[in-house]
């Protein structure tokens, strides 16, 4: 039990003289520390000190809430700005539906700074577009046992054929029926691999392409 001096009891308020709701509040808050049925100056001082501490805590809590709200607004703004930037960048680029390579609109320059290698199986050479032939780097035959590095191409429109110029000298001539002829080093390699006898029946090949560097 709290101890109070004689001066603390001067001007004390009799709790029983207060309204019922005030009495209930005093009882709930345990303001009558000495249990004498009165509220003296010392007890009132303790109440005011507790109130001041509570008010300070509430003020700090309010600042914390305001800080969190400001932080959330800034975060939302950053996400919104990033979305707008991504949308604008997407308008300046296009993606090739065949190779999946991203290009800058209006030019043939790829967005990537390094070559992009794309390996595909079951490719019909004569069905490739000029853009695809331009980036074609390797032709792989016979399930991977034969590979040629491609240095260029020539399309024969009249016969719907495509001649691939291979590294080392020589050509691979493709038609709708597949590989129909080979010259130079390419012919020598195919002969050594005993591929010439069955090349007309092999209509599709595996290829490796690289996008152009910026």
pLDDT, tens only, 156-199 = 888 889 999 999 889 999 988 888 889 999 888 888 887 666 56
Enumerate the domain spans of the chain: 1-91, 113-210
Query: pLDDT: is 4 or 143 the higher one?
Result: 143
pLDDT confidence tier of residue 104, bands split at 50, 70 and 90:
low
- Among 192, 187, 145, smallest CA distance to 166 is for 187
Task: Give the pLDDT score at 73.
Answer: 92
Higher per-residue confidence, 37 vs 210: 37
Per-residue DSSP letters for the chain? Answer: -----TGGGTTPEEGGGS-HHHHHHHHHHT--TT-SSEE-HHHHHHHHHHHHHHHHHHHHHHHHHHHHHHHHHHHHHHHHHHHHHHHHHHHTEEE-TTT--EEETTSS-BSSSS--EEEEEEE-GGGS-HHHHHTEEEEEEGGGTEEEEEEEEEEETTTTEEEEEETTSEEEEEETTEEEEEEHHHHHHHHHTT-GGGGGG---EEEEEEPPP-
Query: Please, what is the average pLDDT of the chain?
Result: 76
Structure tokens at 29: 């808050």
- Model confidence pLDDT, tens digit, residues 13-66: 777 777 777 777 777 777 666 667 777 767 777 766 776 667 777 778 888 898
Give the percent of the chain with pLDDT over 90. 15
Distance CA(123)–CA(41), nearest Å, equals 97
Q: Which of these ranges, 70-74, 83-87, 129-133, 146-150, has the smallest mean pLDDT?
A: 83-87
Q: What does DSSP assign to residue 196?
A: G
The least confident of 99-103, 118-122, 159-163 is: 99-103
For residue 169, the surrounding DSSP H or E stretch is none
């Amino acid at each position: 039990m709290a101890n109070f001096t004689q001066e603390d009891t001067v001007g004390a308020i009799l709790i029983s003289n207060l309204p019922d709701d005030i009495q209930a509040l005093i009882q709930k808050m345990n303001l009558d520390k000495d249990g004498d049925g009165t509220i003296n100056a010392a007890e009132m001082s303790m109440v005011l000190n507790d109130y001041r501490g509570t008010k300070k805590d509430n003020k700090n809590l309010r600042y914390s809430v305001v800080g969190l709200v400001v932080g959330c607004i800034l975060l939302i703004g950053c996400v919104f700005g990033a979305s707008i930037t991504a949308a604008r960048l997407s308008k300046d680029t296009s993606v090739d539906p065949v190779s999946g390579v991203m290009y800058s609109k209006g030019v043939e320059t790829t967005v990537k700074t390094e070559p992009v290698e794309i390996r595909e199986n079951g490719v019909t050479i004569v069905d490739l577009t000029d853009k695809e032939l331009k980036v074609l780097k390797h032709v792989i035959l016979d399930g991977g046992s034969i590979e040629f590095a491609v240095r260029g191409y020539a399309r024969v429109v009249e016969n719907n054929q495509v001649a691939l110029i291979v590294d080392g000298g020589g050509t691979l001539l493709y038609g709708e029926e597949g590989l129909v002829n080979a010259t130079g080093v390419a012919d020598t390699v195919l002969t050594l691999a005993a591929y010439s006898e069955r090349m007309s029946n092999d209509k599709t090949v595996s290829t490796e392409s690289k996008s152009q560097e910026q």
